[in-house]
Structure 1
Amino acid sequence: MKHRAYRLMSISAIIIFLATFLMASCSFGKKPSDPSHTPGTSTGATPTPTSKDPPEDNNGENPKEDPTIPSDQMIQNLMDSMTLEEKIGQMLFLAYRWNQDGESVLEMDNVLKDTLSIYAPGGFVLFSENIESIDQTVALINSLQAQSKIPLFISVDEEGGLVTRLNKAPELHSTNMPDAYTIGLTNKPEYAYLAARAVGAEISSLGFNMDFAPVADIFSNPENKVIGRRAYGTEPQLVSVMVSKAVAGFADQNIIPVLKHFPGHGDTAEDTHTGAAFVDNDLERLMSFELVPFKEGIEAGADAVMVAHIILPKLMDDPVPATLSKEVVTGILREKLMFDGVIITDAMEMSAVSTYYDDDEAAVMAVLAGIDMILMPRSVEEAFCAILSAVENGVITEQRIDESVYRILRLKEKYGILDGSIQGPDPELTLGCPEHKALVQEIKSAAKQD
């Protein structure tokens, strides 16, 4: 099938409107270099710090829960105290892998400090470049939280198998769990639970509170290279039960599991990291196949879902990535699957989006589609200013922003992030412990015997 041109050929009135007002809407202030996955700086106006008071080390003085106030009211009170800029900041999920000299970022620096002050993001994801040792990783995560007025989601991609950030730092002596496909080969769902619980314990011990896992994709296309063994299997029934058990395993260690890559990246031949990727399935096929593990994972208690940049022409009037599609994000995930948790984009720096859309355009389209958090925009400044401008000029309502911020804060409250009430286990005793090492061998043995 020949697909239409990927990028919308006629930019909507929304984007034209934004271009007119972008420079006027973000006031000038101290400008950090954009914290990005690659060295570099951004251009244009920079907003002034979002906090009403200059951010400072909170020394544990993060928003506390009053046990006499219902959680919904506590969240609403917090939102009432926030500026529009602070609310938009909560919708940003950032990364900072290398500094401008191309060196790995292992500790707080001025760029990172300024970014947290100016944009007040809601989440931060660490990569192997940010992780070297136990003391260093704990210190970095603690400093990120200390510099944040509202505590952050601190996430990592720790799936097991090839997708691991911890195992690339030998000093951590962490456990590298088998990939999902190996776990699926055991045909024993309890191993999905035990593996997720072990991974959850290890990352929790370092201060993480979220994992971009489990993978809920079904490896249904033999030509698929981006998912492959990251999936639990090739059939929805097996993948569903494994995903559900993994959700429980992460949650038992107070780690927020994030189902990915909605609505299913397992039937693509292309890789969204490098370009556009298409899925030609219709809604009936999706509901009976690709979406089954997501539905089961949500019913098992998953509170967050990551949306892929795949294009589904049979579901869309315009061939846009799912992350920018209201038909997919709101129409399917929110309305058909009845999901009321936090929806996160896949990394916006990936070529499936960044090749075809400017950062400001993509950010606004994502919010209009129903996305709650924008992961790793190439330019934090452009994404932030575009959303702010869109709200100030009526393209996005503040009510729409409030809906996302409420979901974000509600999830942080549920997992004890807002008040810092949950402490992870001792990393020295948890990372690479004999119990976890034995589990790895047990899973591998069971996979061979099945």
Structure 2
Amino acid sequence: MRGRLLASIVGSTLLAAVAVAGPPAQAAPSTVDRLIARMTLPQKVGQLFATYAYGGDATAPSAADAAANRQAYGVDTPAEVVRKYHLGGVIYFTWSNNLTSPRQIATLSNGLQASAAASGARIPLLVSTDQEHGIVQRLPAPATLFPGSMALGAGRNPVDAYTAARITGQELRAVGVQQVFAPSADVNVNPANPVIGVRSFGSDPLLVAGMTAAQVVGFQRAAGISAAAKHFPGHGDTVDDSHDALPYIHHTRAEWERLDAPPFRAAIAAGIDTVMTAHIVVPSLDSSGDPATLSAPILTGLLRDQLGFRGVVVTDSLGMAGVRQKYGDDRVPVLALKAGADLLLMPPNLDLAINSVLAAVADGELTESRIDASVRRILTLKQRRGLLGAPPTVDPAAAERLVGRDAHQRALRGITDRTVTVLRNDADLLPLSPVAGRTPPAGASSTPASERSVLVTGWNASAFDNVGTLAAGLAARGNRSTALPTGLPDDARIAEAVAAAQAHDLTVVLTQRAWDTRINDPGGRQQKLVHALAATGRPVIVVAVRDPYDVAYFDDVPTQLATYGYTRASMESLTRVLTGEVSPRGKLPVDIPDPADPETARYPYGHGLTW
């Protein structure tokens, strides 16, 4: 019943979106063929690569960024990187110093496009970034920073997923970004997954499929940018991170069809431009031991021939360990192309990668017609996104006006309010007293906010100051609140938090992947903090601000919530739920297993309290 209802909702959402946005623009093959006919082989091979360059200005990077470019590429500026390699695309990151403000990003995009237009085959770039939201977002505020995929899954509303994608796509396009590496189509069926987790919409393939399709329509039909469903054939059931290792997924073919395939089928049906590969081994799909990125049975046999995908296949970063363990960096790009990939992302040595592909053509391992096939798909995508006409410049002043504008922030607030999930309220602490002057909702605490002192403590993200944001929100509503971020606390910090809790009426403690005592929370420091606070006998509320799985470890805390993220918007929505300004609406998009018996759900899929 749930699946049929969701399918009905998603179907009507997609139809409405298509009706408003109209059909996608069709590529003109004759234009693409004429471009290919006049390109040299090095220019064609350059179109197959997308990578980063250091600096916030295309022609005048800082001295440090120029030095970083020289070390990586032998030239000083991002514009020179584009010209030297005839790049098909660039990707923006914070760590490569590309992203500061809407005006700066738009100006950088214009400069890079000018470089591409004045050199080589004069083909514009496909500019991309990873704006999944939640824990993976690149554009800084004032960009509208939506909750991540699992939060949207908790909200259960495909229209919200569509709206978040539409607004994100509009803001990206305004700053000159035409491709977003989102949404994640992975089904997170393994709570111990170290790399996907809250980047997934949930553990139900139908839920993930519906949300994925809604976001594809939001990005592509409504906002006009290219989306990428990732990570094919599905990265949701692993205990290894492909950034650091080569994960194996042991789903049978039937399990893959039931669990992993539905979101990718939905993305393809919705017209997805791009599918990103995963550096994972799935023996039931390819017994060779090759990662999917290098697997012809998976990329060509499964994705293209069986699922019918005709768009661009982009690799995940070729600098990740998962794709570099079996073959050398000179072989990986060649093998990826032979497997069926088109766009090769971020090789660790761009010179080596490009020259390896050229050498493979020279010695007959790759044919030029095989290169042409991938170039044709890439140029067709660029044509579809309006990049093969006039130079694709953007207006930096208009970008400043559009990015983060009030209407977008209002949509953000409403969407995020619908994601906060109350898992337990055994002590009847919630909702707390509302803003002074409002009638308390039924069941609200009888202690006036002005007489209540609240300690907000626990894990804190410096980029968002989630502890401080929550404390400030409670203070704005009349509470006497104190912020005490602990990070991963040592014994002294735990003792400080306990002493502070004893001096306050209520403590709200935030945790971030406290379940992962192997890597993220070595020694269980966050768990020790929560238990010590509970032992004070004072009321405690625990909030999992990333993975909801944390709460299963805190039986001694009778009030538990999950936000699935720690952005400012998530903390503001948490404040409104705690104080009764809005009713909690979120429903778990995953099972939360019992630590003592992982086969038993402590909280099942769909659980969530409201009032």
**TM-score, structure 2 as length reference:** 0.59
Greater displacement, 349-358 / 144-153: 349-358
What's the offset of the Cα at 1:72? Answer: 1.0
* Equivalent residue number for residue 23 of structure 1: none
Greater displacement, 146-155 / 307-316: 307-316
* Equivalent residue number for residue 131 of structure 1: 99
State the AA in 1 paired with 2:151: T
State the AA in 1 paired with 2:282: L
* Equivalent residue number for residue 111 of structure 2: 143
What's the offset of the Cα at 1:106? Answer: 11
CA–CA distance in 1 between the matches of 2:195 and 2:350?
26
Helix, strand or coil for the counterpart of 1:110?
A: coil
Helix, strand or coil for the counterpart of 2:334?
A: helix
State the AA in 2 paired with 1:380: L
For the pair 1:122 / 2:88, whether they are aligned, the reply is: yes
What's the offset of the Cα at 1:201? Answer: 1.0
State the AA in 2 paired with 1:329: L
CA–CA distance in 2 between the matches of 1:343 and 1:328?
12
CA–CA distance in 1 between the matches of 2:115 and 2:106?
14
Cα deviation 1:286-336 (Å, max 9, x = unaligned) = 122201101101110101000010111222232111101111111111111
Of 408, 415, 426, which aligns to 1:443? 415
CA–CA distance in 2 between the matches of 1:420 and 1:224?
45
Change (3 A) 1:223 1:411: same
CA–CA distance in 2 between the matches of 1:351 and 1:197?
33
Cα deviation 1:119-148 (Å, max 9, x = unaligned) = 101111000121112222112111111111
- Mapping for residues 111-190 of structure 1, pairs under 5 Å: 111-128=77-94, 129-148=97-116, 149-167=122-140, 170=141, 173-190=142-159
Cα deviation 1:235-265 (Å, max 9, x = unaligned) = 1101111111100111111110011111111
* Equivalent residue number for residue 38 of structure 1: none
CA–CA distance in 1 between the matches of 2:378 and 2:403?
29
Q: Which runs of 5+ in 1 are unaligned?
A: 1-69
CA–CA distance in 2 between the matches of 1:370 and 1:100?
38
* Equivalent residue number for residue 295 of structure 2: 325
What's the offset of the Cα at 1:217? Answer: 0.6
CA–CA distance in 1 between the matches of 2:102 and 2:378?
28
Cα deviation 1:194-248 (Å, max 9, x = unaligned) = 0000111111110100100011111111110211111111111011111111001
Rg larger for: 2
What's the offset of the Cα at 1:112? Answer: 2.9
What's the offset of the Cα at 1:174? Answer: 1.2
CA–CA distance in 2 between the matches of 1:130 and 1:404?
28
Residue 273 of structure 1 contacts residue 352 of structure 1 at CA under 8 Å; is this kept in 2? yes
* Equivalent residue number for residue 372 of structure 1: 342
Residue 54 of structure 2 contacts residue 78 of structure 2 at CA under 8 Å; is this kept in 1? no
For the pair 1:335 / 2:305, whether they are aligned, the reply is: yes
Greater displacement, 107-116 / 203-212: 107-116
Helix, strand or coil for the counterpart of 1:306?
A: strand
Q: Which runs of 5+ in 2 are unaligned?
A: 1-26, 56-60, 117-121, 420-583, 587-611
What's the offset of the Cα at 1:358? Answer: 1.9
CA–CA distance in 2 between the matches of 1:153 and 1:89?
12
- Mapping for residues 14-413 of structure 1, pairs under 5 Å: 71-97=28-54, 103=65, 110-128=76-94, 129-148=97-116, 149-167=122-140, 170=141, 173-251=142-220, 252-413=222-383
What's the offset of the Cα at 1:100? Answer: 11
What's the offset of the Cα at 1:435? Answer: 1.6
CA–CA distance in 2 between the matches of 1:353 and 1:427?
37
Residue 201 of structure 1 contacts residue 424 of structure 1 at CA under 8 Å; is this kept in 2? no
Cα deviation 1:88-109 (Å, max 9, x = unaligned) = 1110011124799754999997
Greater displacement, 351-360 / 216-225: 351-360
CA–CA distance in 1 between the matches of 2:404 and 2:78?
30
Cα deviation 1:378-423 (Å, max 9, x = unaligned) = 0111110111111111101111111101101111001101114777
Identical pairs, percent:
36
CA–CA distance in 1 between the matches of 2:260 and 2:208?
10
Change (3 A) 1:104 1:161: farther
* Equivalent residue number for residue 578 of structure 2: none
CA–CA distance in 2 between the matches of 1:114 and 1:202?
27
Helix, strand or coil for the counterpart of 1:93?
A: strand
Residue 113 of structure 2 contacts residue 391 of structure 2 at CA under 8 Å; is this kept in 1? no
What's the offset of the Cα at 1:73? Answer: 0.9
Helix, strand or coil for the counterpart of 1:257?
A: strand
CA–CA distance in 1 between the matches of 2:69 and 2:399?
19
For the pair 1:414 / 2:379, whether they are aligned, the reply is: no
Residue 106 of structure 1 contacts residue 137 of structure 1 at CA under 8 Å; is this kept in 2? no
State the AA in 2 paired with 1:161: G
Of 386, 403, 406, which aligns to 1:434? 406
Residue 323 of structure 1 contacts residue 371 of structure 1 at CA under 8 Å; is this kept in 2? yes
Residue 213 of structure 1 contacts residue 259 of structure 1 at CA under 8 Å; is this kept in 2? yes
Cα deviation 1:424-444 (Å, max 9, x = unaligned) = 682222211112211222112
Residue 92 of structure 1 contacts residue 123 of structure 1 at CA under 8 Å; is this kept in 2? yes
CA–CA distance in 2 between the matches of 1:100 and 1:375?
25
Residue 348 of structure 1 contacts residue 354 of structure 1 at CA under 8 Å; is this kept in 2? yes
CA–CA distance in 2 between the matches of 1:107 and 1:354?
23
Change (3 A) 1:421 1:192: farther
Change (3 A) 1:97 1:282: farther
Change (3 A) 1:373 1:105: farther
Residue 146 of structure 2 contacts residue 416 of structure 2 at CA under 8 Å; is this kept in 1? no
- RMSD of equivalent CA atoms: 2.3
Cα deviation 1:146-188 (Å, max 9, x = unaligned) = 1112101100100111111112xx5xx1111011111111111
Cα deviation 1:4-63 (Å, max 9, x = unaligned) = xxxxxxxxxxxxxxxxxxxxxxxxxxxxxxxxxxxxxxxxxxxxxxxxxxxxxxxxxxxx
**TM-score, structure 1 as length reference:** 0.80
Matched pairs, number? 378
Residue 161 of structure 1 contacts residue 178 of structure 1 at CA under 8 Å; is this kept in 2? yes
CA–CA distance in 2 between the matches of 1:394 and 1:107?
33
Considering fraction of residues, name the structure with more strand: 2
Q: Using CA pairs below 8 Å that are at least 6 residues apart, which structure has the higher relative contact order?
A: 1
State the AA in 2 paired with 1:92: F
